Amino acid sequence: KLTSATYDAATGTLVVTATNIQANGGGADIDASALTLTGAGGTGYTLTDTMDVERTSATQFTLTLSATDRAGVGPLLNSDGTTSTGGTTYNLAAADDWNTAVSAGDSSDATGNGLTVSNVPIPTL
């Protein structure tokens, strides 16, 4: 189960905290394409190009978003903090089997996973 996440817009780093992340025994533990970030207007963006990773610990993993995925989430995660400029609460959702070592049952976790965004560039006019 996901518990929280932080996203640094300047570096494209997404750090996710969860409970009981299982190791895959040699392969990637986290399927990046199973993660969706929701922001401005309630719009979600599912990662498409970011590499899968191994967990950092049983409670954390870190993804560095690809340039493609950074461009996709940029307009959605448009303000520092936990909400977009329009007031939408940021969320990180995980589809079934996001933790690749867990195949029994449904491991999806769609709501209530707070995302805190930092270092959003200030728009220039």
Q: What mean pLDDT comes out for the span 96-115? A: 91
**Closest to 46 in 3D by CA, of 59, 31, 27:** 31
The model's confidence at residue 58, banded by pLDDT at 50, 70 and 90, is very high
Per cent of the chain over pLDDT 70 is 100
pTM for this prediction: 0.95
Distance CA 83, CA 76 (A): 10
Domains and CATH numbers, the chain: 2-118 (2.60.40)
Whether residue 12 contacts residue 122, with contact meaning beta carbons closer than 8 Å, is answered with no
**Region of residue 29 (phi > 0: left; psi between -120 and 50: alpha; otherwise: beta):** alpha
The model's confidence at residue 21, banded by pLDDT at 50, 70 and 90, is very high
Query: What are the pLDDT digits (tens) for 78-97?
Result: 999 999 999 999 999 999 99
